[in-house]
Amino acid sequence: MGKMIDIIFEGVNFTKTMFIISDKYEKIAEEVGKQVNRGSTGIYAKGMYTDEEKMMLLCVGSRNEISKIRQIAAKIDRKAFIIISNAREAYGKGFKKE
């Protein structure tokens, strides 16, 4: 039902964006590539509260892919901080071509 509502309001190219902050980012990125066949981008980040430098993974995919990626990340690192948001559109390899 939720997917149908997304298609009606957002169209068929609706994607989601996920940010994952974890000390186990390399293992998460590797498993996402193997299990979901999606790449991820590492972004250097700094926790302003802890003053620690961290690596943040950026992943984009469909609703189903993002659900699988979330499960992978949570299984590898129960302490992972995960943000999932809606992306209007995605262009490039594996996504819509202009």
* 95: helix, strand or coil: coil
Q: Report helix angle 25-36 to 63-76, nearest 10.
A: 140
Q: H-type helices in 19-62, by residue range?
A: 25-36
- H/E element holding 67? helix 63-76
- H/E element holding 9? helix 2-10
Q: Per mean pLDDT, which range of 3-7, 22-26, 34-38 is the poorest?
A: 3-7
Q: Which band of pLDDT confidence, cut at 50, 70 and 90, is reported for residue 55?
A: very high
Report domain 13-80's class: alpha beta
How large is the average pLDDT for residues 48-77? 94
Q: What residues form DSSP beta bridges with 87?
A: 15
Is pLDDT at 11 greater than 80 in this prediction?
A: no
Q: What residues form DSSP beta bridges with 43?
A: 56
Q: For the chain, which residues make up each domain, given as ranges?
A: 13-80
What does pLDDT average to over the chain? 88
